[in-house]
Chain A
Amino acid sequence: MASRDLTASFFKRRASSRRRKGANGTPSNDRPLMAGGSDDGHSLMMMEDGIQMTSLNKPSWVGEVDSVKDTLAEIQRRMDRLQSLHASRVGSVFGKDLDDMEGRIEVLTRDITDQFRQAERVLQKVGAATRRAGGEEAAIGANVQRSLAKQLQELSVSFRGSQRKYLAEVQVQKNGDLGDSKFGIDLTSDGGGDFFTTQQVQVVDDLQEAIQSRDQEISKIAQSIEELGTIFKELAVLVIDQGTILDRIDYNMEAVVEHTKTGITQLERAEKHQRNARPMKCIVSLLIWPNPNRKQNQQAGRPPYIQSPP
């Protein structure tokens, strides 16, 4: 694709125009921004007709958005660490280290789950704060929520995927253990009489203990997966279903432009509907209201044998 950069030419003309204005004696109290496209919104200092806005004045939800982003990064890092712990735990079949490793895994898993919860809570707060502000800010807030919710959802899916894999591997081990002769005694040997030797009893006790602890471990893993399931459900409300009309940019613009205030209440209502588990209810009333932007979309015209809405 061809393109052409007019920036240099633009800057030249801008500069010469300022010089001309300055030369004409027009007082100019404009001062240039820090050029160079800084990508960090926080440290931007803006001068507007003498009013100075520092980074202290940015609304709180912007800070919260950043904290969610940081949390996401943190979760990713921890998940990577968890993966390697899983791998080493599954790799080592026996030893005292097992308990220690399991402990660490449990702690890390709990931490990650807590962080998911926390991120989701902050995200809900951002939504509430921007909705209260209304207008464009509400639209921005809703979109930020959607984007971050999607990222959170993806992370949670991958987290639960790795948990399930780990669970499956641990279960295999547990079943494997029972058939194993690692305790040194062949339980299937025809040994003698109807009662167990003390040695065999000991073996059975050890095995029972092992089974119980495995069970505990497994049930703890299962629990954490369940917890995430609930968070996931709550997040799902915020995520747009891809491929539907709600995933169209022009559709969203029509909704925002025409009915910002009502759009927000509709958004809230839509969330409520989705919580009631009917997937995807379209916001019907927004479709019926006359929409000048739609007309500009130059519809090729519906054939006359279909009833158009009034």
Chain B
Amino acid sequence: MDEELNGIEAIRGYIDRVVNGDGKCRGMKVLLLDASTTQMVSCVYSQTEILANEVYLVARLDDTKQQQEISQSQSLLKAVCFVRPTEASVGLLSKELQSPRFAEYHIFFTGILTSGLLRLLAEDDTLERVQQVQEFYGDFVPINEDLLSMQCRNTLAMSVAAGTSWAPQHAPLYERNVKGLQAILLALKRQPVVGIRFAKHSACAEELARDVHDAIEADDIFHFRKKRRGTLLLVLDRRDDPVTPLLSQWTYQAMVHELLGLNNHRVVLKGAPNISEDLEEVVLSSSQDAFFAANRHKNFGDLGENIQELLQNYQKQTAQHNTSNLNTIEAMQAFMDKFPELRSQSHNVSKHVAIMGELARLVDFCSLMDVSQFEQELACKDDHTPHWRELMEKLESPNVKIPDKLRLGLLYALRYETSGNLHMVKQAMKKGGVPPDMVNLVNVMLRYAGTKSRGPGLYGEDHGALAKMTKSFMTSVQGVQNVYSQHVPLLMDTIQAIIKGKLKSDTHPFVAGSYAKPPNGAPPESVIPNEIIVYMVGGVTYEEGTKVSEFNQLNRGKIQVILGGSTVHNSTSFLEELKMTAL
């Protein structure tokens, strides 16, 4: 049975091997990490689990504050290191090995180590403390099983600079993306035999695709004897769809990120009203929280019901174990036994209730139901006159908060780039309270992702007139199931085209030599893959993650998609990075 694409399993698999030195390191250990690998490990392993593996200290290799003296107990510990194969990390390791703090070193790099760096390391291991050196390609953070992130910021500027004379400034970030994408292939043990395709309009996507292709050709490690299903690698650019990151979200994981910020599974609730001390920062991780795993893609309404049910179940349980009813030793013992479980349940329930409460408060405070309905209109329909009216109304309204006014202005500008009166829109935004440097983002946005800069298809331009009419007819006949979930990201259109064999190679060409010629002289784009690995340079969104997950559910056993990106955006991060493209 072929293994499913599962990013979390892949990274866990590597960490399982790291924590016992791939079977060669038993006893008390220290785990040395760098900034990136800390995030990776923290997302798949809990402190409790790592302790259970006798890792009694997790420390940063680059922490200069740590004591340099060799204390007695430290030199009895063995070190397992899991770091990126950069010059900086190797430099720190070399320094460490020259005056080692620990008895043994087991080193695991998250990517391909150049022979130069290997030699450097070997030469500096004068006291011969290193027991093994291996490459374990865990170079990305698995947010969900099918959503992977490189946690890089500022890749919008990098993608814009690709192919220009400013490109070298972004070289380290670019390297990170290339290496990360390579690691995805290696960790999942997939070779893109159906081919590597990229978004034609994006110089960055093209470069990334070609570089990955060259790496595969150059190194045997990418070649797997057991050529599993037909895997396609698709490299896209955020630029082709600037609308999705601007929209308000209504599914749990996406909504938390948009309104509160979900970073490495951590949510900060501190500063919100009525939050108790132990809920100031909480964790939303599918591997540790079964309720979250089941509800991360559920919409706000269903979520509310499910949290209510969760609360009721919990109350039922605590009523059973009410302390005032404990009058026999048995009852007391039963309570004590259940106590740890009840305590963790209690925290879990309070956490979801608190998050839900805060989300509801913000929805109300920012009139998000009203705003979001209009956003969906702007994103999905063409209807200039009523849109113009509503936009002006919203920009004037005191109920609409300033960041939301900005987003509405941007959504309008993107759709009505040529036909709309953008000057008046900008005036209205200023009058509505949007600061001038933010208003200027309208220009920056059109430069970044206007019709001239982005690829085609965002507003369904490349669908024939007949197809568009059919679509709008069907929509109005069926009624829109949920006015807040009308929007379908461009990504899903692209994926649908691929599985029908209809994605044109003039918009998404193949990297030459990356595919085997299909039989009967059929064009390569007609080959339908079983698996699609999508990488979006510039960042993905949770909305796209949710849609991919739904797609996978629907097509289980037939087609699977896994989505990776430079980072996971919300509107705040997207606009911050957009600003940087103008510098």
Contacts and interface: CB of A to CB of B under 8 A. Distances in A.
A243 B362 CA distance: 25
Given A252-B58, A257-B60, A303 B259 contact: yes
Given A46-B103, A303-B259, A2 B186 contact: yes
Contact of B51 (A9, A143, A222, A293): A143
B91 interface: no
Contacts of A197: none
Interface string A137-155: 1011001101100100100
B24 A297 contact: no
A246 B260 CA distance: 20
A232 interface: yes
A301 interface: yes
A299 B59 CA distance: 21
Contact of A287 (B24, B41, B281): B281
Nearest to B339: A236
B263 interface: yes
Contacts of B339: 236
Contacts of A168: 330
A53 interface: yes
Contacts of B329: 222, 225-226
B48 A7 contact: no
A96 interface: no
Ranked 6 nearest A-B pairs via Cβ: A39-B26, A13-B122, A147-B51, A300-B573, A250-B42, A301-B572
Q: What is the predominant secondary structure among interface residues of chain B facing chain A?
A: mixed
Contacts of A160: 333, 336-337
A279 interface: yes
Contacts of A61: 73
Contact of A39 (B27, B130, B262, B278): B27
The listed residue with most A CB atoms (<10 A of its CB), out of B26, B47, B112, B260, is: B47
Interface stretch (B268-276, B456-464, B489-497): B268-276
Interface stretch (A28-36, A79-87, A175-183): A28-36
B336 to A, nearest CB: 5
A304 B16 CA distance: 40
B264 A297 contact: yes
A84 B68 CA distance: 53
Contacts of A246: 47
A168 B339 CA distance: 21
B166 interface: no
A10 B46 contact: no
Contact of B70 (A41, A48, A135, A140): A48
A150 B346 contact: no
A136 B76 contact: no
B58 A279 contact: no
Contacts of A101: none
Contacts, number: 299
A267 interface: no
A59 B77 CA distance: 12
Interface stretch (B132-140, B302-310, B519-527): B132-140
Which of A62, A157, A249, A293 has the most CB atoms of chain B within a 10 A radius of its CB? A249
Interface string A270-290: 000000000111101001000
A152 to B, nearest CB: 13
B224 to A, nearest CB: 8
A144 B53 CA distance: 11
A130 to B, nearest CB: 8
A253 B59 contact: yes
B66 A280 contact: no
Nearest to B55: A143
Nearest to A12: B122
A282 B281 contact: yes
A297 B268 CA distance: 13
20 contacts: A3-B14, A4-B221, A9-B118, A46-B103, A59-B72, A144-B28, A160-B333, A222-B329, A225-B333, A243-B289, A243-B348, A244-B278, A245-B281, A252-B47, A298-B263, A298-B567, A299-B263, A300-B261, A301-B261, A309-B271
A59 B50 contact: no
Interface size class of A (residues with CB under 8 A): 35 or more
Interface string B116-129: 00110111011111
Given A135-B71, A249-B41, 7 more contacts: A7-B132, A33-B104, A35-B128, A58-B76, A140-B73, A282-B277, A282-B281
Contact of B344 (A6, A32, A146, A242): A242
A60 to B, nearest CB: 10
Interface of A: 1-7, 9-11, 13-14, 17-18, 28, 30, 32-33, 35, 37, 39-41, 44, 46, 48, 53, 57-59, 61-62, 65, 133, 135-137, 139-140, 143-144, 146-147, 150, 153, 157, 160-161, 164, 167-168, 222, 225-226, 229, 232, 236, 239-253, 256-257, 279-282, 284, 287, 293, 296-309
B343 A241 contact: yes
Contact of B268 (A44, A57, A146, A302): A302
A170 B571 CA distance: 65
Nearest to A245: B281
B45 interface: yes
Nearest to B265: A248
Contacts of A2: 137, 186-187, 189, 221, 224
B175 interface: no
A119 B43 CA distance: 33
Contacts of B415: none
B39 A250 contact: yes
A124 B575 CA distance: 52
A239 B51 CA distance: 11
A253 B270 contact: no
B57 A139 contact: yes
A32 B128 contact: yes
Nearest to B138: A1
A297 B14 CA distance: 22
Contact of A1 (B132, B136, B289, B333): B136
Given A2-B186, A243-B283, A302 B261 contact: yes
Contact of B131 (A28, A35, A225): A35
A133 B568 CA distance: 42
Nearest to A219: B329
Interface string B560-581: 0000000111111100100000
B171 interface: no
Contact of B47 (A32, A136, A240): A240
A58 to B, nearest CB: 6
A228 to B, nearest CB: 9
Interface in B285-331: 288-289, 329-330
A135 B66 CA distance: 8
A12 B57 CA distance: 31
Given A147-B52, A253-B59, A248 B266 contact: yes
B38 A250 contact: yes
A236 to B, nearest CB: 7
Interface string B326-356: 0001101110110110011011100000000
B56 A144 contact: yes
A3 B131 CA distance: 17
A299 B221 contact: no
